[in-house]
Structure 1
Amino acid sequence: MRIAIATAAALLLAASAHAQPQPIPLKCGKGSTQTDMNLCADQAYRQSDKHLNEAYRSVIDRLKDDSTKTTQLQAAQKAWLFFRDAECAFSSGGATGGSIYPMVLSQCLDKLTQARTKELRGYLKCEEGDTSCPVPGKQ
């Protein structure tokens, strides 16, 4: 009997390991639960982070022939990430421990990430001869 139970349990575990997780439908907007709002805020932040990474890669591509500027951008981006995370940890501190905390944190991360993306994209639009812009124009 024990062997039958152990075999059945092993089969159930194996079947669940192969099951594909189903996406959770989000109810973003009026009448959402706090959990839904937390997930929606996280989803918005993740989308902004994706855009940030695309902009960053575009700037890195433009700097491929200048190792000094590439190193400077990498250092600036690391410092910015440290700042963003520290700032959002501080600014969302009033909600720590509450069910709203994940949403408040994600909203902060999203806002600062969008601002940084705008800065990086601005570097890609520099006018020829603009000495205040570290990124060369598209060739």
Structure 2
Amino acid sequence: MNRRSLLAPFAASALLLALCGTASAADSPALKTCMDGANTTAAMVNCNATETKVQDERLNKAYKTALAAQEGKRKQQLQDVQRLWIKYRDANCVFAGSATGGTIDQVNGSGCLLDMTRTRAQELENLVGP
């Protein structure tokens, strides 16, 4: 087996992490603490899932605030965009979570979901300002 074929799975993982981002524990002390103590794939996925719930609550609050700030056609546009974004996020993270066939896929997929949810919450918060 040549060196190139040995590195292919690692290159695929690195590419996926670059494409969908990685959950930054620096953004959340609770996530950092959880990840520091996570010794298994399941524990890491659980850490990501717990923080995703926090970010999903943030996203929902930001969406309601942003939606209330819109008028007329823009309100419907935001609803449509949000529905499409949810479909895209879910499909993108399923893809990110199936790259290698290994257990790291579970961590990559859950990290993708966390990152995309956190980013979208920030985008919605930015629609209405500080």
Asked if TM exceeds 0.5, the reply is: yes
Moved more, 78-87 or 30-39: 30-39
Greater relative contact order structure (CA < 8 Å, 6+ sep): 2
Bigger Rg over Cα? 1
Would you say 1:92 and 2:97 are equivalent positions?
yes
Q: Give the aligned partner of residue 74 of structure 1.
A: 79
Q: CA separation of 1:94/1:46 partners in 2, compared to 1, >3 Å: closer, same or farther? A: same
- Assess if the C-alpha contact under 8 Å between 1:55 and 1:121 holds in 2: yes
* 1:113 to 2:117 alignment: yes
- 4+ residue runs over 4 A deviation: none
Q: Is the CA contact 1:39–1:103 (under 8 Å) kept in the aligned structure 2? A: no
**Alignment partners' CA distance in 2, 1:111 and 1:27:** 16
Shift of residue 54 of structure 1?
0.9
Corresponding residue for residue 107 of structure 2 = 103
Is residue 2:50 matched to residue 1:43?
A: yes
**In 1: Cα distance, 2:84 partner to 2:41 partner:** 32
Tell me the distance in 1 between the aligned counterparts of 2:38 and 2:80: 43
Q: Greater helix percent: which structure?
A: 2
Unaligned runs of 5+ in 1: 1-25, 127-139
Cα distance in 2, alignment partners of residues 119 and 31 from structure 1: 30
- Alpha-carbon distance, 1:67 to partner: 3.5
Cα separation, 2, equivalents of 1:95 and 1:84? 19
Residue 61 of structure 2 is aligned with which of 54, 70, 87? 54
Over the matched positions of the two proteins, sequence identity in percent amounts to: 28
Q: Which AA in structure 2 matches 1:79?
A: L
Unpaired segments ≥5 residues, structure 2: 1-32
Q: CA deviation at 1:103?
A: 2.1
Q: Residues 101 and 91 of structure 1: is their aligned pair in 2 closer, same or farther, counting only changes over 3 Å?
A: closer
RMSD: 2.2
Q: Is the 8 A contact 1:48 1:114 kept in 2?
A: yes
Amino acid at match of 1:117: A
TM-score (norm 2): 0.65
Number of equivalences: 98
